[in-house]
Chain A
Amino acid sequence: MNELLKLLENDARLSPESLALMLDKEVGDIKTIIEDYENAGVILGYQTIIDWDKTDAEETVSAIIEIKITPQREHGYDRVAQKIYNYPEVESVYLMSGGYDLSVSIKGKTMREVALFVAERLAPIDGVLSTATHFVLRKYKDNGVVYGVTPVDERGMMM
């Protein structure tokens, strides 16, 4: 049922009734399948994509930090990654191929706050060789959604 997962990935609010119609299945089956996915850790959560810039919420800054690390015996990169991802400030941690090892994204209130977090929390971790912090200036597209554009139906009224 990859199709079901793709639909939910795109719109988590689709009801089991709607999904059943769209996928030509029974409502009960859809509910069971979703529950199974949740229990098996395939579906890990449901979130909402928000353009915070359009709200009156306090401004935040995001940064992507490239980290080079020394892999540890037996644990490889996992230990260091865990030490990093346990911080609630950290939104994502990826192990990367190429010029650096971990890509970490962080959200903070100010640039200073983010910079301090990197300097005081991330850089001192055993095994971390270097960090490079890149602040996000503008988000054009995230999670498949283009930001700042409200779609308008401009289609002509043809038969």
Chain B
Amino acid sequence: MDYSRILSSTVQDIKPSGIRKFFDLLENMQGVVALTVGQPDFITPWHIRVAAIESLENGKTYYTSNSGTLELRQEISSYMNRRYDLTYDPKSEVIVTVGGSEAIDIAIRALINPGDEVIVPQPAFVCYGPICELAGGKPVYLNTKEENKFKLTAEELKSVITDKTKLLVLPYPNNPTGAIMTSEDLEEIAEVLRGTDIMILSDEIYCELTYGREHVSIASLDGMRERTIIASGFSKTYAMTGWRLGYTLAPPEITKQMLKIHQYAIMCAPTTSQYAAVEAMRNGDPDVAMMRKEYNRRRRYIVGGLRSIGIECFDPEGAFYVYPNISKFGLTSEEFCERLLQEEKVAIVPGTAFGDCGEGFARISYAYSVEHIAKALDRMERFVKKL
């Protein structure tokens, strides 16, 4: 059969994630010190796991309502209120999703008509463009710059807005750069959008992992709530990646439409995970504080360590990645990372995995023990001395 004539041309046109072949290479090697993983190394706190186990013991094995248990939606709502001073009605403005990924998916699909343009700042997590294409939209990539600390600026935003622009993706705190947007930075963006019909998808999955200053949601700025869909989740905050649990927060008109997609494609998020999540939001603050502190130590350690071996790196203020500039070594990002892997068995991710603008950079995750990071830094030092 000639499958290429059968399969959806939209899907076939989507490029597979470029990083896959690098990961495949990595998986076949022994003794590699990897700094590649995009998820916490902490195990979900025990009291949260216990809540899930108890829910199973008590026979909570049915579907929940489509948008998630009301109890959990209420917890999410009160969490947003105490942490970010935002008010969302648990009954009409919250959907519990299968991870932040589904939240992003239903948000984009609920908004995009064929031909609509979606502004995607890069470097960023890789899913926005492909999801947008699946919905018939057109991703418009916008390259943020190192000299701006990889923040999105009002000028850059204005330069790509057209009369077809439907949506701006705001991926901060940012994977892979560790960049954040302060309330001043966000206010500049808000000013560009006021009075337009442009919507915002604010991916705040790393909101609890900022170091030095608190995360600000653009939804809390004047006039922004009505045009913002917040996508967030439990994965990074509570070290719950495998539980697959996230949520959307958006005005009722939008939530109603997103819920239709969620209802038909997903039904509801995993019930056991929802019970765990209630416990996480009620009693998980000390865990979050502990993990944030630990990440922050590692962040300082790795930034200092990289600089001391001659690898320049801007000061990341969020997530758990550093994004060093490796252009001075005269290799492409992929060459650098492949040689580092082959010659010293250290794995880091080439910046190009996050868009063309990642050339000259690499992403290093510090969701690893200091001991592990130290070992990697020793090997990297040996490597760059050879170059």
Contact = CB atoms under 8 A, between A and B. Distances in A.
A142 B374 CA distance: 25
* Interface bin, chain B: 20 to 34
B301 A18 contact: yes
Given A21-B300, A22-B297, A22-B301, A159 B38 contact: yes
Nearest to B305: A21
A42 interface: no
Nearest to A13: B371
Contact of A21 (B27, B304, B371): B304
* Interface bin, chain A: 10 to 19
Contacts of B371: 11
A155 B41 contact: yes
Among B39, B301, B349, find the residue whose CB has the most chain A CB atoms closer than 10 A: B301
A101 to B, nearest CB: 33
Contacts of A157: 23, 26-27, 36-37
B224 interface: no
Contacts of A14: 370
A24 B300 contact: yes
B263 interface: no
Interface in A1-43: 7, 11, 14, 18, 21-24
A158 interface: yes
B297 A23 contact: yes
B288 interface: no
Interface string B160-191: 00000000000000010000000000000000
Interface of A: 7, 11, 14, 18, 21-24, 153, 155-159
Given A14-B370, A22-B301, A155-B39, 6 more contacts: A11-B370, A21-B303, A21-B304, A22-B297, A157-B26, A158-B37
The 4 closest A-B pairs by CB, nearest first: A21-B304, A22-B297, A157-B23, A21-B301
Interface of B: 17, 19, 23, 26-27, 34, 36-39, 41, 125-126, 175, 241, 297-298, 300-301, 303-305, 349, 353-354, 370-371, 374
